[in-house]
Structure 1
Amino acid sequence: MDTTGKVKKGFGGRKGGGPKAKSVSKSIKAGLQFPVGRITRFLKKGRYAQRLGGGAPVYMAAVLEYLAAEVLELAGNAARDNKKTRIIPRHLLLAIRN
């Protein structure tokens, strides 16, 4: 028994020697479907700026997800107006143009 009062640290500096915790993606933390990590990588790779804030890729992923949802909803409405159950490129065109 360790009587020195020190707490042993596990792998990665965590207290306790239990198993490693399951990783949680940035997209799940932000509650998004779009990949925050991939957008971060693209922004860094594209050299749009020397430095990149932590919230910028999350915000961009949220905006892209919102725009995609809006376009898909309008395209779905256009498909339903044409009595179709599947969205085709024409429906996307009608959604964007109107």
Structure 2
Amino acid sequence: MSGRGKKLVAAPKSKSSVSRSTRAGLQFPVGRVARLLRKGNYASRIGSGAAVYLTAVIEYLCAEVLELAGNASRDNKKLRIAPRHIQLAVRNDEELNALLGGVTIAEGGVLPNIQAQLLPKKTKAPRDTANSSKDVQSQDF
């Protein structure tokens, strides 16, 4: 029985685990959102696709707000996005303003707005162009 030992078989290469965020092509953590959905007692059962879908929606909204806030910071000649820029971005976009209408952004300030009644009224200039041209003297030296 000396030649009847177990044959050495190479262990199959274990596949490295691929996260659900990577599978879905997302940057935000799908696993964390799934855990928060389960622990939040929103429903007794949570489908596997629900966390992926919710994560994709959150990532899209963040990308949209960050793009608009980056444009607002560039308009103000700043390199860093401040809460003021997020406020300007959200309030100037019609759909985001409807979505985040009841949200207060800390240190965001208010939108610049002057009501029309407070602006000075435009007055028409007098039309004395004929008389004014006669009164002008030429500069002959």
For this structure pair, what is the TM-score category when the shorter chain's length is used for normalisation?
Answer: 0.7 to 0.9
Name which of 72, 82, 90 aligns with 2:84: 90
Q: When you count helix as a share of all residues, which structure comes out higher?
A: 1
Identity over aligned pairs, percent: 65
Aligned residue number for residue 60 of structure 1: 54
- Shift of residue 17, structure 1, vs aligned partner: 2.5
1:7-38 CA-to-partner distances (Å, cap 9, x unmatched) read xxxxxxxxx72232110000000000010000
**Root mean square deviation, CA, Å:** 1.4
Gaps of 5+ in 2: 1-9, 93-141
Number of corresponding residues: 84
Report the residue type matching 1:65 in the other structure: E
For 1:21 and 1:57, locate their aligned partners in 2 and report how far apart those are by CA, in whole Å: 24
For 1:38 and 1:78, locate their aligned partners in 2 and report how far apart those are by CA, in whole Å: 31
For 1:95 and 1:17, locate their aligned partners in 2 and report how far apart those are by CA, in whole Å: 56
Aligned residue number for residue 136 of structure 2: none
For 1:72 and 1:63, locate their aligned partners in 2 and report how far apart those are by CA, in whole Å: 14
Report the residue type matching 2:39 in the other structure: K
- Rg comparison, structure with higher value: 2
For 2:86 and 2:21, locate their aligned partners in 1 and report how far apart those are by CA, in whole Å: 26
For 1:17 and 1:48, locate their aligned partners in 2 and report how far apart those are by CA, in whole Å: 43
Aligned residue number for residue 76 of structure 1: 70
For 1:39 and 1:77, locate their aligned partners in 2 and report how far apart those are by CA, in whole Å: 29
- Shift of residue 44, structure 1, vs aligned partner: 0.2
1:18-62 CA-to-partner distances (Å, cap 9, x unmatched) read 232110000000000010000000000001000011100000000
Name which of 20, 34, 37 aligns with 1:26: 20
